[in-house]
Amino acid sequence: MQKQHFIDNAWQGGSSPEMIAVVDPSTGTTFGSLARGTAADIARAVASSRAAVGDTFDGPWGRLSAAQRGRLMMRLAAAVTERNEEFAQIEARDTGKSMKTARVDATALARYFEYYGGAADKLHGDTLPYEHGYTVLTIREPHGVTGHIVPWNYPMQIFGRTVGASLAAGNACVVKPAEDASLSILRLAELAAEIGFPAGALNVVTGYGHEAGAALTAHPGIDHISFTGSTVTGRLVAEAAAKRHCPVTLELGGKSPQLVFDDADLDQALPVIVNAIIQNAGQTCSAGSRVLVQRGIYETVLERLAERFRALRAGPPVLELEMGPLVNEKQYGLVKGFIDAAEAERIPVVARGSVHPEAASAGYYQAAVLFRDVPHTSALAQKEIFGPVLAAMPFEDEAEAIRLANGTDYGLVAGVWTRDGARQFRVARALRCGQVFINNYGAGGGVELPFGGVKSSGHGREKGFEALLGFTVLKTIAIKHG
């Protein structure tokens, strides 16, 4: 299986003959290749998207009414829903994620296109009170051509939320998927063409981040960049964007805490806390990777978490276990490195899951691990591991819980488990992050709920109606009556 770029509604060979191997993480074997995109390929895609949107929004995509755009997006949502299993299989093979997670991702992708398709014709400006003799109004216009850099952990969901919102707002999109997970996005672009999206509305160029990704970020024809990925790369993207004053949304990493107070309903909390770290084998930006537990219930919580951790299995996607393998050898090495270093520091392991006997030995399987008494300053408590590793630590009171929760460079998501209503609000307001969940975590995905970080977790908001606003430019028009 050899995949080219998808530009102008057609498969197009790259300017370089070099290809990137596509590896199945559950076996470590290569099963295809991707075009290794260059700056020339990016330039071709940007020119195609510019023609689609038109210099004055008069191109075949730019001149569609909001309702027409929305209708096309709804059609794409329906087409993805019909092909849920096909998309799930593509993603499971490409990224190693369990079929269960892959199906959820395909469902969420369709839901994003449905949500933003429905929102396209509800995005409007205002009329503003002003001096006598004037009428003043604001119009929300698209940026033009937007660039989207997508990571490998949730390609379909992240595509849905960034490209969905951008298309709905009237932009044409150039997407650079992750080199480890491009197949579902390529198929999606092909499907969009099949159901009638005009050529250039959605172009996909595959390749490495430092080549195709960097070329997209630096291209003067890109009017807005949406980047989802690591904090380190996010900084490079922001620097490149700043050089030409290009607006940028950054969705970066996290070290999100779960705060468990002594009045929490543990039957409700514990399964959610476990799921929040093992979902997608821990390769989730909003993973709940720290569990802060009030001293009086610390031992009980650890005992009950340990029981659950011992039952967790990692195995090939087809077995539909709790976890699949990690995405690639590099990620496997990184996660293992954190675990080995923590053990060398003598941070106690409470429990480990297992790797299923049917898992190929060449696959990148990592059993889940629960650590306790993790020092707040240790790497385990401060760094994003991006694997199924949960760091538990005790706290005495609310003030300490908040201090620990806020005490990392990140600020993406937090979970708070307490039945005390006043405390729910106090703690939620004191946490420095983009989303707080009280007695739940993630609200089941929440396509409608604005998402994003503070500090090193990034800036700008995706998901919900808020994301649509970010993909527009507000223009004020003041009319003096004759």
Judged by CB under 6 A, the chain residues 398 through 437 that form the site for ligand NAD are: 412
The verdict on 256 binding ligand NAD (CB under 6 A) reads no
Q: Which range binds ligand NAD by CB under 6 A, 246-254, 293-301, 302-310, 340-348?
A: 246-254
Closest to ligand NAD by CB, 59 or 415: 415
Residue 285 beta carbon to ligand NAD: minimum distance, rounded to whole angstroms = 3
Residue 157 beta carbon to ligand NAD: minimum distance, rounded to whole angstroms = 9
Residue 227 beta carbon to ligand NAD: minimum distance, rounded to whole angstroms = 7
Which of 122, 210, 243, 295 touches ligand NAD by CB under 6 A? Answer: 210
Give yes or no for a contact between 434 and 454, defined as CB atoms under 8 angstroms apart. Answer: yes
Q: Which range binds ligand NAD by CB under 6 A, 27-35, 102-110, 149-157, 337-345?
A: 149-157
Burial per residue of 50-72, b for 16 or more beta-carbon CB atoms within 10 angstroms, e otherwise? bbbbeeeeebbbbebebeebbbb
Give yes or no for a contact between 139 and 481, defined as CB atoms under 8 angstroms apart. Answer: no
Helix 99-119 / helix 84-95 crossing angle, nearest 10 deg: 120
Which of 76, 150, 205, 416 touches ligand NAD by CB under 6 A? Answer: 150
The verdict on 233 binding ligand NAD (CB under 6 A) reads yes
Closest to ligand NAD by CB, 36 or 143: 36
The verdict on 105 binding ligand NAD (CB under 6 A) reads no
Which of 34, 77, 172, 178 touches ligand NAD by CB under 6 A? Answer: 178
Q: Phi, psi at residue 57, to the nearest 5°?
A: 55, 40
Q: Which range binds ligand NAD by CB under 6 A, 227-235, 261-269, 312-320, 337-345?
A: 227-235
Residue 384 beta carbon to ligand NAD: minimum distance, rounded to whole angstroms = 5
The verdict on 146 binding ligand NAD (CB under 6 A) reads no
Closest to ligand NAD by CB, 426 or 459: 459
The verdict on 252 binding ligand NAD (CB under 6 A) reads yes
The verdict on 45 binding ligand NAD (CB under 6 A) reads no
Closest to ligand NAD by CB, 69 or 176: 176
Q: Which range binds ligand NAD by CB under 6 A, 86-94, 203-211, 342-350, 424-432?
A: 203-211
What distance in Å separates the CA atoms of residue 391 and residue 255, rounded to the nearest whole number?
10
Closest to ligand NAD by CB, 314 or 327: 327
State the amino acid at position 22 in one-letter form: V
The verdict on 386 binding ligand NAD (CB under 6 A) reads yes
Which of 213, 353, 464, 470 touches ligand NAD by CB under 6 A? Answer: 213
Judged by CB under 6 A, the chain residues 366 through 385 that form the site for ligand NAD are: 384
Residue 335 beta carbon to ligand NAD: minimum distance, rounded to whole angstroms = 12
The verdict on 285 binding ligand NAD (CB under 6 A) reads yes
Residue 455 beta carbon to ligand NAD: minimum distance, rounded to whole angstroms = 12
Closest to ligand NAD by CB, 117 or 458: 458
The verdict on 41 binding ligand NAD (CB under 6 A) reads no
Residue 458 beta carbon to ligand NAD: minimum distance, rounded to whole angstroms = 6
Catalytic positions, please?
Answer: 251, 285
- Cα Rg for the chain, rounded, in angstroms? 23
Report the DSSP pairing between strands 413-417 and 288-294.
Answer: unpaired
What distance in Å separates the CA atoms of residue 286 and residue 157, rounded to the nearest whole number?
13
Residue 317 beta carbon to ligand NAD: minimum distance, rounded to whole angstroms = 19
Nearest residue (beta carbon) to ligand NAD: 209
Closest to ligand NAD by CB, 110 or 181: 181
CA distances from 104 to 222, 279, 366, 416, 445 (A): 31, 11, 22, 25, 9
Which of 14, 253, 282, 388 touches ligand NAD by CB under 6 A? Answer: 253
Closest to ligand NAD by CB, 215 or 301: 215
Binding site for ligand NAD (CB under 6 A): 149-154, 158, 176, 178-179, 208-210, 213-214, 217, 228-230, 233, 236-237, 251-254, 285, 384, 386, 412, 458
